[in-house]
């Protein structure tokens, strides 16, 4: 299947148009419904090879065929915590084992550009991760996951969606969630970037959706608001704040 191009993104956007406001657009349902994320990415980096709508549908079909029994949950560990943008009927604190939150994805669009590459969160292998789980209404599963795929499954060599078991604060399993893990063999993997490089990229990168620093600080504040402690992310945010102040 062919990758998305600037022409196909424009054709799919329907009534979406960029605002003349200097503020970056908000990632909300309206933006996702008209495929606006793909257009923003292509404006930042026109050479990007994005997944086409058809390829995302094939990916989603495969996930739904492999769905474990029970309700469909989404596991949020980054921006989904402070901006889920999907309809859900229940939200719970949840832990996944065998994966940890990490700025392990290299980006050149969205919150970065080819001139100022940045980093985005992904689930990297090892450890555990505490985040938010969102349960979808059975009747809304396909529609809500379609929006989620338009948000997360944009670039090749980035995320690998998986079903991960969810555990509560007592360690009891209560369901399975869609979670976006990093592809360690993909071209976007940046799990081995030195700390000083990560700080510099997070402090300097920005694109059509805003800055990497804003994404980092919003995630830190969102984790705090939901009682989630991530000392590594807190330390990273402190270093980026210091770099920005300098």
Q: Are 50 and 154 in contact (CB under 8 A)?
A: yes
Active site residue 241: no
pLDDT of residue 158: 94
Tokens coding 13: 């956007």
- Supply the pTM of this predicted model: 0.89
Task: Report the number of distinct structural domains present in the chain.
Answer: 1
Q: In this structure, is residue 136 part of a structural domain?
A: yes
Average pLDDT over residues 101-107: 97
Q: Are 40 and 208 in contact (CB under 8 A)?
A: yes
In whole angstroms, give the CA distance from residue 191 to residue 219: 19
> Exactly one of 39, 53, 144, 152 is catalytic; which is it?
152
Domain of 235: which CATH number?
3.10.490.10
Q: In this structure, is residue 1 part of a structural domain?
A: no
Domain span including residue 117? 6-245
Average pLDDT over residues 84-113: 97
pLDDT of residue 16: 37
Q: Are 97 and 165 in contact (CB under 8 A)?
A: yes
pLDDT tens digit sequence for 66-97: 999 999 999 999 999 999 999 999 999 999 99
């Amino acid at each position: 299947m062919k990758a998305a191009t600037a022409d196909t993104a424009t054709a799919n956007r329907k009534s979406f148009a960029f605002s003349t406001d200097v503020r970056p657009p908000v990632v909300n349902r309206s933006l996702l419904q008209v495929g606006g994320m793909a257009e923003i990415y292509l404006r930042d980096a026109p050479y990007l090879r994005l997944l086409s709508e058809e390829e995302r549908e094939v990916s989603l079909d495969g996930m739904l065929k492999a769905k474990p029994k029970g309700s469909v949950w989404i596991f949020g560990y980054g921006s989904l915590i402070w901006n889920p943008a999907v309809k859900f009927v229940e939200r719970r604190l949840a832990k996944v084992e065998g994966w940890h939150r990490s700025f392990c994805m290299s980006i050149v669009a969205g919150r970065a550009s080819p001139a100022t590459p940045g980093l985005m969160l992904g689930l990297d292998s090892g450890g555990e991760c505490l985040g938010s789980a969102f349960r979808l209404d059975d009747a809304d599963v396909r529609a809500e996951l379609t929006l989620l795929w338009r948000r997360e499954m944009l670039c090749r060599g980035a995320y690998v969606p998986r079903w991960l078991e969810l555990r509560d604060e007592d360690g009891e399993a209560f369901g399975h969630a869609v979670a976006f893990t990093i592809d360690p063999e993909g071209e976007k993997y940046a799990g081995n970037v030195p700390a000083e490089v990560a700080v510099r990229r997070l402090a300097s990168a920005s694109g059509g959706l805003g800055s990497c620093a804003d994404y980092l600080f919003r995630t830190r504040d969102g984790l705090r608001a939901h009682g989630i402690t991530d000392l590594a992310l807190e330390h990273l945010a402190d270093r980026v704040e210091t770099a920005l102040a300098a």
